[in-house]
Structure 1
Amino acid sequence: MVAGSSLVAATLFWAGNYVLGAVAVGQMDPLSLVVLRWALALVPLVIIAQLTERPDWRRLARHWPWLVALSLTGLAGYNLLLYAALEHTSPFNASLINAFAPALILLAAAAFLRQRLTLWGVGGVVVALVGVLVVLTDGALGDLASLELGAGDLLMIGAIVVWTAYTIIGRRAPALPPIASTAAQAAVTLVATLPFALAGGLDLPRDAGGAWSLVFIALFPSVLSYLLWNRALTVIEAGRAGVYLNLITVFTALATVLMGQPLHLAQVLGGVLVLAGVALTSRRPSAPPLADTVDAGGGTQARGA
């Protein structure tokens, strides 16, 4: 019960990253938002890691090539593309495209980690892909040949490709304390992005709404979601936890309705197909499997949204 509640809360906060991220990029450019997010999150992450994991920071630093690769793909690259996408598309649309990520990870794991696809996995990828196409075409699948993707759609597709790379790198990386590793990645991200943000002029929130959006993003999706997610993984297997990630799209849809924004039938239908497809990729056969399947939850990696 506690583990389930922790996972629900974690996904709720990650959904908030889409909704309030859209508010924040109305006042700050994506690079400034990434810099300020991880600058504010770094100290709490270090403190929590020290209290809960007591990591050997020097030993962690010896794995710097892995930390740099994870930082540039996950914390920097994914979030830069996500926030740039939110300048051009709705939070719900972005979350729907993002929901295809577990299926894409399944394909990447088969290609790069030599993990075999099950029939359920292949079927799930196909169903999820159809769902994404329904969203991108606004339900007009017959117009697929003449489809012109918007900037937000292209950026969000780029974001899930980068997140897939982050996940594959994470699975090849040595086992590291998850919260301490996230803190180290936040530090690397800050060092890598701050000079560019300062050179271009660091944007700050212009009003209370922008400031509170930034504070929420820095503390809840960046710190508390990671803490709750990894706490839950101590008592629930990662495969079961991964299914909870589908709630990000559900919570984003609810927030969209509560904010008075319209939901279109194509979005709802596409979302149902994407979630159904991801559920199929996470399905485990009742008999002992003949082939390995990919954990949609990304092992001990938190979502990082």
Structure 2
Amino acid sequence: MKKSYILLFLILANLFWAGNYIFGKFVVAELSPIQLTFTRWLIAAIFLFPLAHWIEKPDWKSVWKEWKVLSLMGMLGIIGYNFFLYWALTYTTSMNAALVNSITPAVIVLFSFLFLKEHISFLHVIGLILSLFGVLLVLTNGHLQTIFHLTFNSGDLLMILAILVWTFYSLIAKKIKNVPAISATAVSVLIGVVLAAPFAIGSGLNLDLSNQAMVGILYIGIFPSVCSFIFWNISLRHIDASQAGVYLNLIVVFTAMLSLILGQKITVVQSLGGLLVFSGVYLTTKKKKDSKAMASP
């Protein structure tokens, strides 16, 4: 697959995930974390299976033979991460949650090195630091000293759990190469929905939702849930998990852009932070090409 397509897929995946923060903020006020997680993926499953059958035409028997790994992916990336994310937002501020979430690429780099033995070059480290610095500029509006005055509560600790869950999901997804990406996502989503159903139904689903919440659920169920996961899993089959992880910093930048569209002001410092994030991502994508050149005979 061309590098330009991988770049586009990673950008779109994080753009749609940024929308999850915008719309999720509205929906979580009317649905509990487990109810929102269940409803989100139930909608996604309706789209994923037809898409997988139409685009990939998989041998479903072969796909289901990987049910153990796909079940683990369903528990981690489909249910676990989203549940902890929405649960965290009920206790902590969006700024604290975003700040904690910004360490995700660093965690993925560390775990990729420890468990997948992926090479980390000096240029990769520079790109990671640069993009992380850009994220911090966006989050603090240029007042970096405020980082040391933030208080961490139970919601922040839940975000750390969410990050760990997502890291392991990314590493596991990297190992699945004999199952088509969309089909793997569809099956893992279905397994996740089945596992979450008793808890969501048992907690009492709220069907009396506002129009705003309904629009939010539909967006979350289609774009971040279907499109982002497909784009993310396809990309992980062509680049290192540590490289893909750096793109997660774009979520903050895209969230700022979406806020601007909704009428909120974006400062010069935030714009500068966005440029630093993109610069860091560019340096990280250069890493793989350079390392291949050095490894050639």
TM range (shorter): 0.7 to 0.9
The CA deviation at 1:219 is: 1.6
Counterpart contact for 1:32–1:197, Cα < 8 Å: yes
**Corresponding position of 1:172:** 175
Between the aligned partners of 2:62 and 2:42, the Cα distance in structure 1 is 23
Distance change in 2, residues 1:81/1:269 (3 Å): farther
Map 1:52-131; keep pairs closer than 5 Å.
Answer: 52-87=55-90, 88-90=92-94, 94=97, 97-130=100-133
Counterparts of 2:239 and 2:175 in 1: how far apart (Å)? Answer: 17
Note if contact 1:37-1:218 (Cα within 8 Å) is conserved in structure 2: yes
Letter in 2 for 1:185: S
The structure richer in helix per residue is: 2
Q: What percentage of aligned pairs have identical amino acids?
A: 38
Q: Cα 1:172–1:10, aligned 2, differ >3 Å: closer, same or farther?
A: closer
Query: Residues 215-230 of structure 1 correspond to what in structure 2 (within 5 A)?
Result: 215-226=218-229, 229=231
- Deviation per CA, 1:131-176: give whole Å up to 9, x if none: 5666777766557666522454443333222211111111233421
Which one is further off, 56-65 or 122-131? 122-131
Contact 2:173 2:233 in 1 (8 A): no
Structure 1: which amino acid aligns with 2:48? L
**1:237 Cα deviation from its structure 2 partner:** 5.9
| Structure 1: unaligned runs, 5 residues or longer | 293-305
For structure 2, list consecutive stretches of 5 or more residues without a partner in the other structure. none
- Give matches, 1:1-305, under 5 Å: 3=5, 9-87=12-90, 88-90=92-94, 94=97, 97-130=100-133, 147-204=150-207, 206-226=209-229, 229=231, 238=239, 242=244, 247-261=250-264, 273-284=276-287, 286=290, 288-290=292-294
- Conserved in 1, the CA contact under 8 Å of 2:123 and 2:283? yes
Distance 1:218 1:255 in 2: 18
Secondary structure of the structure 1 residue equivalent to 2:152 = coil
Cα distance between partner residues in 2 of 1:145 and 1:89: 16
* TM-score normalised over the length of structure 2: 0.78
Q: When the two structures are aligned, how many residues end up with a matched partner?
A: 287
Inter-partner Cα distance in structure 1 for 2:8 and 2:171: 28
State the TM-score, normalized to the length of structure 1: 0.76
When the two chains are superposed, the root-mean-square deviation of aligned CA atoms in Å is: 3.7
Give the secondary structure class of the aligned counterpart of 1:214. helix
Determine the C-alpha separation between the residues in 1 that align with 2:151 and 2:197.
34
